[in-house]
Amino acid sequence: MNTAAIYHRPESEYAYLYDQETMHVRLKTAKGDIQQVWLLHGDPYNLELEEWYKKPLAMTKILSTNVYDYWFVEVTAPFKRLSYGFSLEGSDGLKAFFGDHGLFPMEEEALQIANNYFRMPYFHEVDRFKAPEWVKETVWYQIFPERFANGDPKNDPKNVLPWNSKDPDRQDYFGGDLQGVLDHLDYLEELGINGIYFCPIFKASSNHKYDTIDYLTIDPDFGDEAVFKKLVSECHKRGIKVMLDAVFNHMGDESPQWQDVLEHGQASPYADWFHVNEFPATYKEGRDFEDAYDLTYDTFAFTPHMPKLNTANPEVQEYLLNVARYWIEEFDIDAWRLDVANEVDHVFWKRFRQTCDAAKKDFYILGEIWHSSQSWLQGDEFHAVMNYAYTDAILDYFVKKRIPVTKMMAEINNQMMLYRDQTNQMQFNILDSHDTPRLLTETKEDKDLAKQVQAFTYIQPGVPCLYYGDEIGLTGGMDPDCRKCMVWEKEKQDQDLLKFTQDLIAVRRKEQKILSEGSTHWVQVSEVSGVIIYERLYGGNVLRGAFNTGIYPATIELVGETLLDNLATLGEQTANLQPKGFILMKG
């Protein structure tokens, strides 16, 4: 028995309240090392009386990575408190007890000592990780406002270019605005999405607006507060939620606060709003990227035009928290997406969460974090993060061919076990965005491959997000090329891809319950044939996806009703699945 690999941590993603009465318990062991695990559990105050350690509850091995197995069980406690430990039987036949004080021989003497057990001292509802139910039902659509549609030429910037007249450079403007989004809400409704994630819309000096000048003003290039209020109202009438992008890690260097620091230096009332290491705040361009800039202040990356905010400063905190409240209370937005969220301190984010919760019930907070994010997802900061680590594994296998299928499976399972089930149900799954090359460009414009990877992603836990234009065949490399103008002429759109995307979104929304809350099972993962069969199970229902990632056709057993397929020939009981093909079925 590999005792060093046995791991559990109380009051974490390994032991947490799922609902008011139910606790989820996980245990990690070395892969293939443990034959069976049982949970020994009961009330901490009646161990001697009931001897509940004699009533083991079998745990289920739910997922595995390349090095670990994960075990799971769901329990309740009549008095809302629990003591628990684990009885293990190794593949070598050895038995052991694992509890708060480590590993013991499987002897009754160790099992009778109350302090040897882990504890959930009380089921505090206030401490339970809670997430808005509506998020699980949402398919998001990301809009880069400057490039979606020009609905009001009167607010065009002076140097605006004709719509879609060229591929975008970093300083180009094409006149996209909020009226353009209003004008195309019918299109979005027909597409099937029910959530819009807007890149920043506040006053800024760039086309991307991540260099905020004024957080309380709609950028004049996009319209004004009246048109935004109307946009939110019209979205809500159609059942579409609205999420805004908040850039609280840094400001733009044209903001009045930073300009005051440049003018008055250390005497500025805003001097401590930023991380100025030496006055005056200056920079000069370096010789190359590695040399970057010779800066006397902290910034986002090495960008001198984005000075970093000191969110530990109480004045900065109050300023930004007022911004958070304002857009919720005055415009009824439903969610914040937080830019560069991992570079802002946890103390501020805890206050931010409290502010948003007080302003609106069931408000959703999404952090931009590209790596493991447990520290932000304990229930008192964010509900979810942009799930790049999860979808990177999918892209690395399906599209980029960097990893074998077993590595993809292991990485997906590992990411699932980093977080509570409630969190996994809220994670934001994207295959491309304003910060990455577009999916069709990554697939070298292979649309069958793009359809396959989208279908696989849409049946994963978490909520999918579609980047504007992907549904009609928009391509683009790394920023700024991924920020092309939306194509609105139907004859220039890929109508087949659009129909496929509508159908895929319809499946996701129709089967939302099983796809958001169902357990995950890898039925078949073959390095030889490239066939992946993946299931979601919930309430006796099964949704199965079969994917042929190999180079030869494969025969797949059909299960129940076919929901969606591509490159498949369906028989009565089996289907012939071509390379890059897939079938989604419900049994």
Catalytic residues: 339, 368
Alpha carbons 427 and 340: distance in angstroms, whole number: 17
Mapped onto helix, strand or coil, the DSSP state of residue 73 is strand
Give residues with Cβ within 8 angstroms of 190, minimum separation 6: 502
Cα 191 to Cα 52, 141, 244: the distances in Å are 55, 10, 21
Say which residue the tokens 């087949």 belong to: 496
Instruction: Give which of 206, 294, 193 is closest to 255, Cα–Cα.
Output: 206
- The CB density around residue 222, as the number of other CB atoms within 10 Å, is 26
Q: At what angle do helices 495-510 and 447-458 cross, to 10 degrees?
A: 10
Say which residue the tokens 């000592």 belong to: 113
Alpha carbons 432 and 540: distance in angstroms, whole number: 34
Q: At what angle do helices 314-331 and 225-237 cross, to 10 degrees?
A: 60
Residue 431 token pair: 């295959």
Quick one: how many helices (H) and strands (E) in the chain? Answer: 16, 26
The DSSP code sequence of 252-303 is -TTSHHHHHHHHHGGGSTTGGGB-BSSSS----B-SSTTT-B--SB-BSTT-
Torsion, CA 565, CA 473, CA 440, CA 570, rounded to 10: 10
Q: Report the phi/psi class of residue 567: left, alpha or beta, with left for phi > 0 and alpha for psi in -120 to 50.
A: left
Amino acid identity, residue 70?
A: Y
The DSSP code sequence of 87-130 is EEEETTS-EEEEETTEEEES-HHHHT-GGGSEEE----GGGS--
The gap from C-alpha 443 to its chain's centroid, in whole angstroms, comes to 22
Give residues with Cβ within 8 angstroms of 24, minimum separation 6: 15, 16, 17, 18, 72, 73, 74, 420, 421
Amino acid identity, residue 582?
A: F
Alpha carbons 340 and 327: distance in angstroms, whole number: 20
310-314 contacts, C-beta under 8 A, 24 or more apart: 310/272, 310/273, 310/274, 310/275, 311/248, 311/249, 311/344, 311/345, 311/348, 312/345, 312/347, 312/348, 313/272, 313/273
Torsion, CA 277, CA 283, CA 285, CA 286, rounded to 10: -30
Question: How would you class 293 by CB atoms within 10 Å of its CB: exposed for 0-12, middle for 13-18, buried for 19 or more?
Answer: middle
